[in-house]
Chain A
């Protein structure tokens, strides 16, 4: 292939990501990813053996993703998210600063245990409605959800697809991963809280007077959504199952699948969801997309780009070394997207600085997307799609907030990781 190989591999990666954002005619993203993966194998950029090895490595990861997406859908069907909205409204007692605290607590926990998808797809609309009904400006709370979906996804291997992809390679156990990332998780959430509280101090300073609340309550009051205790217990048992399974050396996908199966049986029997909705939520085509993406990224790494990016990564594990790894990861996540970034960087970081470097790279790819969410290229496409729908978001405020929160959270998160590593050891 000569010089054409690297160019082709990167072009295919960009094309596949672009397709995934625009999704012409609503086609699943696997429609582009699978043929592109086939092309890199046919052209010899990746050997069939290496492609199969990558797919085998990623299979347990995507299996877990499917199970946890189904699990989140079932939690929604059981009314857990609506109940969380009621709880947040009650905790806030009409005061925006208190609601912000409640949203932070709920969004951080939901992201950590049910992954960022649950926070974005299921919690954000609930939080929007809760704020509006409580007579508050929804903007700070929507920003809190979207930011925490990324930055609070550091805690567990299950919190973010990026963690799952790196976790397999890192050689850490589930509980050790959680122990090392607990302090960075707390540090990053704390940084986000301070930044949002200051950035939106005006919006958070105005509360609806009680007379207005009474009038507003007549229109759409936050009520109490009944949730069965059994549902809560089953979800809780599944989450404990993640940890127990990993301690026993069983992939957490099995615990998620077992929990999802029991909850699905109940929800289907009680007609709270349909098999069709459940299957759509599990999103198997997306899992296939991740497998295809994995093969394409192997082609990109082998094309020589891996060596170039690897050259940027320091080999030590001092605070500044780890910060540099996180910085490179954040830049890669913004240039491309966090999924190819983590696929690309995990083997390179592992080779350069071992487990500490992999965890630092995860802080970068998880916190970094708050700058552009989908990566800069994809953001351009996304804005075009948005304009087609008759809405156009101003990126000025979004970027100003990110300019404060992302660098501060990176420094805070990496600093906390450095302390964790010194206390617990890699």
Chain B
């Protein structure tokens, strides 16, 4: 059984707990982090706004920083998993890259955390990226709550 765990900055501990609780010991675990190209793109736009004052190679620094911090995050997750796991880093449009990674790996299960408004059970407990991934994932998905799960009473009343 191949399990892909998609981790993001703030919510990865919930995914680690889900692996501990639900993934069989003999399953192969791959941890995925996707760096959002938009962030480096915004930074390089601001660099371009300075014309030549930014220096030629400075714009690439943010892209490199994104890769380094992604690697550090994956190492933290791998250490916290406490079981053998492969780590993979990709970059691009986050939601597309996650779906592509599931397909490339031929994963049987995808584990991900909610990334939207986490104060109530919904609506919008899924952000745009997680919503796309849940909608398009070519395998079974396990969707977990980061931190404590809100009460059922947190759902707004139905419209009259």
Contact = CB atoms under 8 A, between A and B. Distances in A.
A137 B52 contact: no
A158 to B, nearest CB: 14
A146 B41 CA distance: 11
Interface in B5-44: 8-13, 36-44
A192 interface: no
A121 B47 contact: yes
Contacts of A394: 37-38, 41, 93
Interface in A181-231: 201-202, 205-209, 211-212, 215-216, 218-220
B106 interface: no
A21 B51 contact: yes
Interface stretch (B54-62, B133-141, B149-157): B54-62
A124 B52 contact: no
Given A121-B58, A143-B42, A211-B13, A374 B72 contact: no
Contacts of B49: 120, 149-150, 369, 373-374
A386 B46 contact: no
A96 B93 CA distance: 23
Given A133-B69, A206-B11, A216-B73, A146 B46 contact: yes
A207 B46 contact: no
For A138, A218, A379, the residue with the greatest tally of chain B CB atoms inside 10 Å of its CB is A138
A128 interface: yes
B118 interface: yes
Given A142-B43, A206-B10, A218-B76, A283 B52 contact: yes
Contact of A391 (B51, B69, B91): B91
Interface string A103-115: 0000000000000
B42 A142 contact: yes
A286 interface: yes
A21 B147 contact: no
A215 B80 contact: yes
A29 B52 contact: yes
B65 interface: yes
Given A28-B52, A120-B46, A286-B52, A125 B39 contact: no
A169 interface: no
A207 B119 CA distance: 12
A120 B54 contact: yes
Contacts of A135: 9-10
Given A120-B49, A135-B9, A391 B62 contact: no
B105 interface: no
B127 interface: yes
For A116, A374, A391, the residue with the greatest tally of chain B CB atoms inside 10 Å of its CB is A391
B51 A286 contact: yes
A382 B46 contact: no
Interface in A39-80: 69
A419 interface: no
Interface in B47-87: 47-56, 58, 60-63, 65-66, 69, 72-73, 75-77, 79-80
A386 B62 contact: no
A137 B44 CA distance: 18
Interface residues of B, number: 53
Given A125-B62, A205-B119, A132 B41 contact: no
A191 B45 CA distance: 22
Contact of A125 (B11, B13, B37, B61): B61
Contacts of A116: 50
Contacts of A398: 38, 41-42, 45
Contacts of B73: 132, 216, 219
A139 interface: yes
B6 to A, nearest CB: 14
A121 B52 contact: no
B51 A393 contact: no
A43 B44 CA distance: 37
Contacts of B46: 120, 124, 145-146, 149, 373
B115 interface: yes
A136 interface: yes
Given A29-B52, A382-B48, A132 B63 contact: no
A130 to B, nearest CB: 10
A291 to B, nearest CB: 14
A117 interface: yes
A121 B10 contact: no
Given A29-B51, A394-B38, A132 B72 contact: yes
Contacts of B55: 121, 280-281, 283
B45 A289 contact: no
Nearest to B11: A206
In order of increasing CB-CB distance, the 6 nearest A-B pairs are A393-B41, A132-B69, A373-B49, A146-B46, A212-B13, A206-B10
Given A132-B69, A149-B49, 16 more contacts: A124-B43, A125-B43, A139-B39, A146-B45, A202-B117, A207-B10, A208-B13, A215-B79, A280-B55, A283-B52, A283-B53, A385-B48, A386-B44, A391-B37, A393-B45, A394-B38
16 contacts: A20-B52, A117-B50, A120-B47, A121-B54, A121-B58, A131-B9, A132-B73, A133-B72, A142-B62, A146-B45, A212-B76, A220-B72, A374-B45, A382-B45, A391-B37, A392-B41
